Structure 1
Amino acid sequence: MSTKSKIVDFMKEQAYKPLTAEELLKEFDIPKRDRDKFLDLLEEIENDGLIIKNRKERYGVPERMDLVVGRLQGHAKGFGFLIPDNPEQEDVYISIEDIDGAMHNDRVVVRLIGEKKGKSTAGEVIKILERANHQIVGEYEDSGDFGFVVPDDGKIFHDVFVPKSQSKGAQEGDKVVVEINQWPAKRRNPEGEITEILGHKTDSGVDIETIIKKLDLPADFPSDVREEVAAIPEKISEKEINRRTDLRDVKMVTIDGEDAKDFDDAVSIEKLNEEEARLGVHIADVTHYVKEGSPLDQEALERGTSIYLVDRVIPMLPEKLSNNLCSLRSDQDRLAMSVLMKFDLNSGEVLEHEITESVINVNQRLTYNQVKKMLVDDDEELIDQFSHLIAELRLMADLSKKVRKLRQDKGSVDFEFPEAEVVLDEEGNAIDIEKVDRTIAEKLIEDFMIRTNEVVAEEMYYREVPFIYRVHEEPAKDEIEELNSFLHNLGYHVKGLEGEVHPKSLQKVLNKVEGEPEERVVNTVLLRTMQKAHYHPQNIGHFGLASRCYSHFTSPIRRYPDLMIHRIIKEVINKGVLPKERREELEDNLFSIADHSSLQERKAMDAERESKDLKKVEYMKDKLGQEFEGVISGVMSFGFFVELDNTIEGLVHVSTLVDDYYHYHEDKQAIIGERTAKIYRLGDEVKVEVSKVNVDAQQIDFELIE
């Protein structure tokens, strides 16, 4: 156990009462020569939010002082919710009066004030541990002697005041980057200096550039990272090959999308007998090239994830690694981490497994579409072309169905929502929106990756190794109660409200509504009830997958948590046990890595969604007056959203419903006419006309066609 952990555990003891720094020095019998080091460590632990120093200069752990530490999730109206570091604690509501200058994504300490606000306990911010928004991207508004930057991120409530001398000549309507030099306080906006003008909001290309700048990532890799990557040899040494399990003779394939360039995973299968098969999941060994603590590693950690915008990719790793040395290209020797699993072909159970460092050589790159055509459409030309692989592909398909059924029987909650791909021309304009369906090929790879992630997490959990888990809390009880009230109106019910809700109860509801008119509405409301998955060193399981242990192991080229746990796994399988010093190092660092990775993941998801939504709005700007059929996808007091078959969404404002006075009924997720009792409910099919498209506001307005 590290010194940091010993201090925290000491303060968690029931008999502990808050002590001063001097008293702690005596309690731990710290010699004079180490006094400053110990005090620095106390400050470091305090900055991490693991301990708190009160007004009387005494230290204690937050939970013993009615305090909660976590990240603030802001809201456009100025209030927020604290998302606690401890995944087992409930979110805390923070009113605009109690937010005390904190901003969206800041790490803060909150005092519980014992009140309830709706579903959540209320609290007040008493300390800001870490600022998340040193730079803000937004639109400049000129007010003569000064200006304001209105943040593009709606969760950042404050406009940023900019003195004229700090405006860098920005004009009304420019998209800018503003550096914060004075943080907000009660009744005072933050103040900043414009550091970059991206262009006027109507200029071509400024929209996507704005999204990129919001991620606060450099477009290019720093010079020290480029130099490090340039020095990496392209040829694998014989010494490295000889110390690994040689799987180059094992027949294996990659199965990805048409445009994929970074191939994280390859799969192989061998039928052992009529009852058993060995599935191999082979994942790129990125850690061989990315050394812990190096400039390349630090840059990967800072980025946290690759970001897939509608017209480009911002990679976590430089192209030499992501698209070449680490990418599992066919007919090339590559280093991998292989998980070899023996399956019972009747039940889909894993009978035994092995995790090993390997060298592989992928036989064939296949696309999802090719696999689907062979396995579903019986495309004779493709079957003939890949006759040397078709038996293995069919065996994989059969096994994946067994694996998926086993997961579903456990209660894994599987949502079926269509995704869309935006087709761009050479100038970056949206020319089509194509709905993408998940076929047997995508499901096959998903099934095998999920099971591999479970196997790896279980292995490390039972070895009691410090680790990063992918965790997903069960829905809050009041959220489930609200869901049940809504489902009751449709004739359905979630069982198990007396105690803990099991995911199987939710999956049973999804199974019952499959194929029914209300299927989409139930899927939508149930999804909104769920918490968001994230990374954490504490294993609390994954509710949505009904998994006791889950991790992200299968995409180290594009996700830092995967890369980090590869390091840990390699150390464990090579040494059998982690040295004491290494355990302490991991215990001290894994929370901050997990927390930062979760934050970067949320930013990336927001950016990816925003870039796609932006192009969807652009696509609709010449569709004024055109009629479409759609489904009501969201109901609010001011109207309802309608999603078209191509996944584009627009608003029917309540003011356009002129045949009656309409009122919002939250419990029914509906707007109901006062006189006619006409109902517009979540999931209803409607016909609409495009009445307005505002590209700047990224908003599409529809009007109903009766």
Structure 2
Amino acid sequence: MKFTVADILDQLHSSGIISIVELEQRLGLFTKIEKQQLSITISALTQIGILRETDEGIERVSNDHIVEAQLRCSSKCFCFALRDDGEEDIYIRDYQVNYAWNGDRVLVKIIRDGGRKRSPEGEIICILERQSTSFIGQLERRKDKLVAIPLDDRILSVIDLIEEPKFDLDLSQQIIAEIKIDRYALAQLPAQGHVVRVLNIKGNVVSDRELLIAKYALPHHHPLPHFVLNTPIGKHRYDLTEQTVILWKGFDSVDNLSLPGITIQSTAPFSGGTSIRLWIHAPLIAERVELNTTLDLWLRKRANALFVMGEFVPLLTRNLAEDSEFKVGKTQSAISVALDLSTEGELIHYRFFNSLIRPTIELNSRILSAFRYRKPETQSFSHPFTVAKDYLNEIDQLFALASQLRRRRLAIGSVDLDFPDLPINALGDQCLSKPTETHNGWMISTSCIQPFSLLREFLQVAHSALGHYLSTLGLPCIYSANEAADPAAINEVAKTAAGINVTCRLNEDGNVSSLQEMVIDFAATDRVRVLNQQLKAIIPGITLSSQPKPNIVSGGYMAYANWTCGSLHYADIFNQYILSWLLGKTHPKLYGSDNSLAIADGNKYRELLKTIANESDLLSTFYDLINANLVNCLEARSLFAADLLADGVALAQARAAESLLGHVLTGVITCVQSYGFFVEIPPFNLEGLVHVSSLKDDWYEYHPKQNRLVGRKHHRAYILSHKVNVRIQTIEAIHDQIDLVVVNPDSSLRLYDKGESLP
């Protein structure tokens, strides 16, 4: 069908009634068959109590016990519905899943409230939207019937293939294929599908990329909608073409990437004192793409630029990327913000502009390295860096400001974790830090000569300015939120560290003083990587929200709204729509003498906005989109992008390690469980499992509080962070499964005396 149940409900977010004709228009349904499908769907939703039909049209029925959620399943048949409203997850028993698959958006009816030690329980009454219509699976023949077994063991189903492939299959070998779903399971009818193509699992980069594309149902070709780009308005643009605007080249393999430019002015008068003035110039996308057009909807559905095994999949169309990209020497329209900062890096004041800029120079890691590590008082540089020598003062100021902003961010509560780049050529730029952190609740600690390590510090201030501005005015916005780590969880990590003889600074109450101090304590040990892995597990990730919330990873700002990297994320484009709409208003009270937007009296501006809103329906459209589940959809796509990125890294690690199959290596124990322990082995930081059944020399007991397995007879202990010699026994890259066995345990493994009490 052309629509999903989610599409219908997204149009019925308010309590008002909508006519069938208007709903058909909103969904773009014009043919008789499409309208019949809508009628059948509405009838079914009415019968289960989701919708109500009246003479004027249809409306959604309010029911606090029916919630929207996304299904998350495990290979052990445990399923939870993750609620869109952020409330406690709902446990779904296997017989109440009702043919939904992992990742599907669903409607859940709560049938049992949660207790102090029990999650609420529910049943799935409707599947709103399938996560994908295809998957990769292994072909098998069962009872003369060809079936596909999903490689993702969270998909708890077997799919009947409705027709034999038109090519010969040797089922004595493992055959992995891309399967297209023709019918999902319903009542007594099993799921059916057909083979799209057989996939190569031999392990070259191209075939592995195809595996990921098939696994995540990414289209091979991206059919473009019909569109015409708008030309940015030339009037009332603040002329900044005489400024020195610095561009940043962080990715070597990515072209036509529209990223912001930076200008720094050493001092500027402010309130009788001095401040640093930092300009952020964002590529202008919102004025080129009209809201709710086919191109805007196409970008909204894609949501993010992606990396697939080192290959960059852009968000923007080529024409849009080329049109909005900043280039040295080319005058370009932009949205700029002037940020007045104290010498300590605190944001004092800001103003937004429609602007014209002419970038001056582009910096990459080689140029930054030459500047950073030049000899004192050196003014001469070898080719190709001579072109940048005229900007020595500006670049030195940017280094100093980025360092100050980072110190302030860390002091407020943000965390940088050290995870060095992997030496895997297939990943390319995929493992580099990005201009903005959109998923992890911590920053990757990178070298100061990495362009994005500087750029990300500057952009955080610009994003906090827009978040503060829109939240003060009460305007719709997509905020980026990141909660602080749970103090109890932090203390548990401290106990884990103490178990391996790493001490943390504690306050008078015996608790960890701060997460940042713990990171510093860990960095001073030779077990920093293992302990950082423990921290990763307890630091909440970044989420998108329609309400202003704290963003700890970016320095604790209360309202934080990304808007400068529209070439990477649609959320930035949406926020840019709001800002462009405001900048396009001609009401004199909104502007300063230089056509800039600044915040003064929030109440006065709210009253003013009521008048402006009556001039156009665009503001109500913004509110409709925010209320119509846009934030949750973009959040789901953000998680999708994070999973894809992680899978690509894991697959590349496994492939790179296949040459080490059968070799004996020394690794570090990174996790201990009752069924065995995980070991990370160099040089690719590959993590494999030593299953407890492979430990033949003793019967091992699990001591969870001490993170160790201890043998009953010989008292040999396998302890978190300890080194151990292992052989790589098997590598199943496409299953992300590495099996290891211990080889010749030596004295590095603790042997307890028989009379010694175990800790």
Give the TM-score normalised by structure 1. 0.82
Q: Residues of 1 paired with 2:498 and 2:445: CA distance?
A: 31
Q: Does structure 2 retain, via aligned residues, the 8 Å contact 1:175–1:210?
A: no
1:244 matched to which residue of 2?
Answer: 237
2:300 matched to which residue of 1?
Answer: 301
Q: Residues of 1 paired with 2:67 and 2:431: CA distance?
A: 44
1:13 matched to which residue of 2?
Answer: none
Q: Does structure 1 retain, via aligned residues, the 8 Å contact 2:135–2:216?
A: no
2:721 matched to which residue of 1?
Answer: 683
Q: Residues of 2 paired with 1:496 and 1:462: CA distance?
A: 39
2:4 matched to which residue of 1?
Answer: none
2:708 matched to which residue of 1?
Answer: 670
SS at match of 2:315: coil
The answer as to 2:641 corresponding to 1:604 is: yes
2:93 matched to which residue of 1?
Answer: 95
Name the aligned partner's letter for residue 648 of structure 1. L
Once the two structures are TM-superposed, the CA of residue 469 in structure 1 deviates from its matched residue by 1.1
2:127 matched to which residue of 1?
Answer: 128
Once the two structures are TM-superposed, the CA of residue 218 in structure 1 deviates from its matched residue by 2.5
Equivalent pairs, count: 656
1:509 matched to which residue of 2?
Answer: 518
2:676 matched to which residue of 1?
Answer: 639
SS at match of 2:677: strand
**Counterpart mapping for 1:148-167 below 5 A:** 148-163=147-162, 165=163
Question: C-alpha offsets along residues 115-142 of structure 1, whole Å, 9 cap, x if unaligned?
Answer: 5697744433233322223322323223
Once the two structures are TM-superposed, the CA of residue 451 in structure 1 deviates from its matched residue by 2.1
2:561 matched to which residue of 1?
Answer: 551
Q: Does structure 1 retain, via aligned residues, the 8 Å contact 2:421–2:431?
A: no
The one of 647, 656, 660 aligned to 2:698: 660
Question: C-alpha offsets along residues 445-490 of structure 1, whole Å, 9 cap, x if unaligned?
Answer: 2211222222211111111111111123455687567556645646
SS at match of 1:86: coil
The answer as to 2:588 corresponding to 1:594 is: no
**Counterpart mapping for 1:262-661 below 5 A:** 262-272=257-267, 275-322=274-321, 324-345=322-343, 347-376=344-373, 378=375, 381=381, 385-420=387-422, 422-424=424-426, 438-441=446-449, 442-474=452-484, 483=493, 486=496, 489=499, 491-492=503-504, 505-545=514-554, 546-575=556-585, 577=609, 579=613, 581-590=617-626, 591-643=628-680, 644-661=682-699
SS at match of 1:622: helix
With over 3 angstroms needed to count, the CA separation of the structure-2 counterparts of 1:536 and 1:437, relative to structure 1, is: closer
SS at match of 1:286: coil
2:207 matched to which residue of 1?
Answer: 206
Q: What is the root-mean-square deviation of aligned Cα atoms in Å?
A: 4.0
Question: C-alpha offsets along residues 122-172 of structure 1, whole Å, 9 cap, x if unaligned?
Answer: 433233322223322323223353222222334323232323x36565834
Q: Does structure 2 retain, via aligned residues, the 8 Å contact 1:147–1:167?
A: no
SS at match of 1:337: strand
Once the two structures are TM-superposed, the CA of residue 420 in structure 1 deviates from its matched residue by 2.2
2:597 matched to which residue of 1?
Answer: none
Q: Does structure 2 retain, via aligned residues, the 8 Å contact 1:410–1:504?
A: no
The answer as to 2:72 corresponding to 1:73 is: yes
Q: Residues of 1 paired with 2:470 and 2:80: CA distance?
A: 33
Q: Residues of 2 paired with 1:703 and 1:402: CA distance?
A: 48
Name the aligned partner's letter for residue 259 of structure 1. S
Q: Residues of 1 paired with 2:111 and 2:24: CA distance?
A: 28
Once the two structures are TM-superposed, the CA of residue 270 in structure 1 deviates from its matched residue by 0.8
Name the aligned partner's letter for residue 247 of structure 1. L
Q: Residues of 1 paired with 2:127 and 2:240: CA distance?
A: 51
Q: Does structure 2 retain, via aligned residues, the 8 Å contact 1:372–1:439?
A: no
Give the TM-score normalised by structure 2. 0.76
Once the two structures are TM-superposed, the CA of residue 552 in structure 1 deviates from its matched residue by 2.2
**Counterpart mapping for 1:219-234 below 5 A:** 219-225=220-226, 228=227, 232=229
With over 3 angstroms needed to count, the CA separation of the structure-2 counterparts of 1:153 and 1:458, relative to structure 1, is: farther
Q: Does structure 2 retain, via aligned residues, the 8 Å contact 1:633–1:641?
A: yes
Q: Does structure 2 retain, via aligned residues, the 8 Å contact 1:211–1:611?
A: yes
Q: Does structure 1 retain, via aligned residues, the 8 Å contact 2:341–2:347?
A: yes
Question: C-alpha offsets along residues 181-236 of structure 1, whole Å, 9 cap, x if unaligned?
Answer: 443468x78512215114344486433213113333333232544xx3xx559xx7
Choose 528-537 or 664-673, whichever is displaced more: 664-673
Q: Residues of 1 paired with 2:189 and 2:238: CA distance?
A: 60
Q: Residues of 1 paired with 2:305 and 2:11: CA distance?
A: 36
With over 3 angstroms needed to count, the CA separation of the structure-2 counterparts of 1:697 and 1:313, relative to structure 1, is: same
Q: Does structure 1 retain, via aligned residues, the 8 Å contact 2:137–2:151?
A: yes
Once the two structures are TM-superposed, the CA of residue 507 in structure 1 deviates from its matched residue by 2.6
SS at match of 1:287: coil
2:436 matched to which residue of 1?
Answer: none
Once the two structures are TM-superposed, the CA of residue 505 in structure 1 deviates from its matched residue by 3.4
With over 3 angstroms needed to count, the CA separation of the structure-2 counterparts of 1:312 and 1:550, relative to structure 1, is: same
Once the two structures are TM-superposed, the CA of residue 359 in structure 1 deviates from its matched residue by 2.1
1:215 matched to which residue of 2?
Answer: 216
1:259 matched to which residue of 2?
Answer: 253
SS at match of 2:381: helix
Choose 433-442 or 170-179, whichever is displaced more: 433-442
Q: Residues of 1 paired with 2:727 and 2:552: CA distance?
A: 40
SS at match of 1:272: strand
Name the aligned partner's letter for residue 402 of structure 1. Q
Once the two structures are TM-superposed, the CA of residue 558 in structure 1 deviates from its matched residue by 1.8
With over 3 angstroms needed to count, the CA separation of the structure-2 counterparts of 1:517 and 1:695, relative to structure 1, is: closer
SS at match of 2:136: strand
Once the two structures are TM-superposed, the CA of residue 348 in structure 1 deviates from its matched residue by 0.9
Once the two structures are TM-superposed, the CA of residue 628 in structure 1 deviates from its matched residue by 3.6
SS at match of 1:288: coil
With over 3 angstroms needed to count, the CA separation of the structure-2 counterparts of 1:504 and 1:149, relative to structure 1, is: farther
Q: Does structure 1 retain, via aligned residues, the 8 Å contact 2:668–2:722?
A: yes
Q: Does structure 1 retain, via aligned residues, the 8 Å contact 2:199–2:211?
A: no
Q: Does structure 2 retain, via aligned residues, the 8 Å contact 1:309–1:607?
A: yes
Name the aligned partner's letter for residue 286 of structure 2. T
With over 3 angstroms needed to count, the CA separation of the structure-2 counterparts of 1:159 and 1:121, relative to structure 1, is: same
Choose 449-458 or 519-528, whichever is displaced more: 519-528
SS at match of 1:601: helix
Name the aligned partner's letter for residue 448 of structure 2. I
With over 3 angstroms needed to count, the CA separation of the structure-2 counterparts of 1:615 and 1:344, relative to structure 1, is: same
Q: Residues of 1 paired with 2:453 and 2:400: CA distance?
A: 12
Question: C-alpha offsets along residues 59-98 of structure 1, whole Å, 9 cap, x if unaligned?
Answer: 75443x3x432211222222222221113x1222323233
Q: Residues of 2 paired with 1:140 and 1:220: CA distance?
A: 26
Once the two structures are TM-superposed, the CA of residue 641 in structure 1 deviates from its matched residue by 2.3
With over 3 angstroms needed to count, the CA separation of the structure-2 counterparts of 1:34 and 1:642, relative to structure 1, is: closer
Q: Does structure 1 retain, via aligned residues, the 8 Å contact 2:238–2:353?
A: yes
Name the aligned partner's letter for residue 339 of structure 2. M
Q: Does structure 1 retain, via aligned residues, the 8 Å contact 2:506–2:513?
A: no
Name the aligned partner's letter for residue 68 of structure 2. V
